[in-house]
Amino acid sequence: MDTEFKTVYWHNGKVKMIDQTKLPLEEVWIEFDDYRDVAEAIRTMQVRGAPAIGVTAALGIALAASRFESSDTEKLIGYLTEVGDELAATRPTAVNLFWAINRMNDFIRSNRNMDIENLKNAIIKEADSIQSEDVTRNKALGGFGNELIDDGDCILTHCNAGALACAGYGTALGVIRSAWKSGKKIHVFVDETRPLLQGARLTAWELIHEDIPMTLITDNMAGHMMQMGKVQKVVVGADRIAANGDVVNKIGTYTVATMASIHKIPFYVAAPTSTIDIAIDTGEMIPIEERAAEEVLGYKGNNWARDDTSIANPAFDVTPNHLVSAIVTEKGILREPYNESIRDVCREKTTLA
Pick the closer one to ligand MRU by CB: 119 or 164: 164
- Give me the catalytic one of 239, 246, 277, 317: 239
Q: Return all residues near 302 (Cβ < 8 A) that are at least 6 apart.
A: none
Pick the closer one to ligand MRU by CB: 149 or 328: 328
Binding string, residues 35-54; x marks residues near ligand MRU by CB under 6 A: -------------xxxx---
Tell me which amino acid residue 122 is. Answer: A
CB atoms within 10 A of CB 341: 18
Pick the closer one to ligand MRU by CB: 102 or 171: 171
Q: Strand 214-217 to strand 233-236: parallel, antiparallel, or no bridges (unpaired)?
A: unpaired
Nearest partner of 217 among 259, 275, 166, 167, judged by Cα: 259
Binding string, residues 242-261; x marks residues near ligand MRU by CB under 6 A: -------xx-----------
Distance of CA 259 to CAs 21, 71, 159, 334, Å? 30, 58, 16, 22
**In the complex, what is the shortest distance from the CB of residue 117 to ligand MRU, in angstroms, rounded to a whole number?**
35
* Cα 292 from Cα 199, distance rounded (Å): 19
Pick the closer one to ligand MRU by CB: 62 or 166: 166
Pick the closer one to ligand MRU by CB: 315 or 323: 315
**In the complex, what is the shortest distance from the CB of residue 301 to ligand MRU, in angstroms, rounded to a whole number?**
19
* Cα 316 from Cα 294, distance rounded (Å): 17
**In the complex, what is the shortest distance from the CB of residue 274 to ligand MRU, in angstroms, rounded to a whole number?**
10
**In the complex, what is the shortest distance from the CB of residue 12 to ligand MRU, in angstroms, rounded to a whole number?**
27
Binding string, residues 68-97; x marks residues near ligand MRU by CB under 6 A: --------------------------x---
* Cα 236 from Cα 49, distance rounded (Å): 12
Angle of CA points 346, 350, 351, to nearest 5°: 85
Judged by CB under 6 A, which of 15, 64, 154, 159 binds ligand MRU? 159
**In the complex, what is the shortest distance from the CB of residue 165 to ligand MRU, in angstroms, rounded to a whole number?**
3
Catalytic status, residue 239 = yes
* Cα 101 from Cα 103, distance rounded (Å): 5
**In the complex, what is the shortest distance from the CB of residue 14 to ligand MRU, in angstroms, rounded to a whole number?**
23
Q: Return all residues near 43 (Cβ < 8 A) that are at least 6 apart.
A: 90, 91
Residue ranges in 286-325 that form contacts with ligand MRU under rule CB under 6 A = 315
Q: Is residue 155 a contact partner of residue 232, using CB atoms and an 8 Å limit?
A: yes
Number of residues that this document lists for the chain: 353
Pick the closer one to ligand MRU by CB: 96 or 341: 96
Phi-psi label, residue 300: left if phi above 0, alpha if psi -120 to 50, beta otherwise: left
Counting residues that bind ligand MRU (by CB under 6 A) gives 17
Q: Is residue 346 a contact partner of residue 278, using CB atoms and an 8 Å limit?
A: yes
Judged by CB under 6 A, which of 8, 127, 161, 280 binds ligand MRU? 161
Q: Strand 187-191 to strand 154-157: parallel, antiparallel, or no bridges (unpaired)?
A: parallel
**Should residue 171 be labelled a site residue for ligand MRU when binding is judged by CB under 6 A?**
yes
Residue ranges in 195-234 that form contacts with ligand MRU under rule CB under 6 A = 198
Positions that interact with ligand MRU (CB under 6 A): 48-51, 94, 159, 161, 165-166, 171, 198, 237-239, 249-250, 315
Give catalytic residue positions: 239
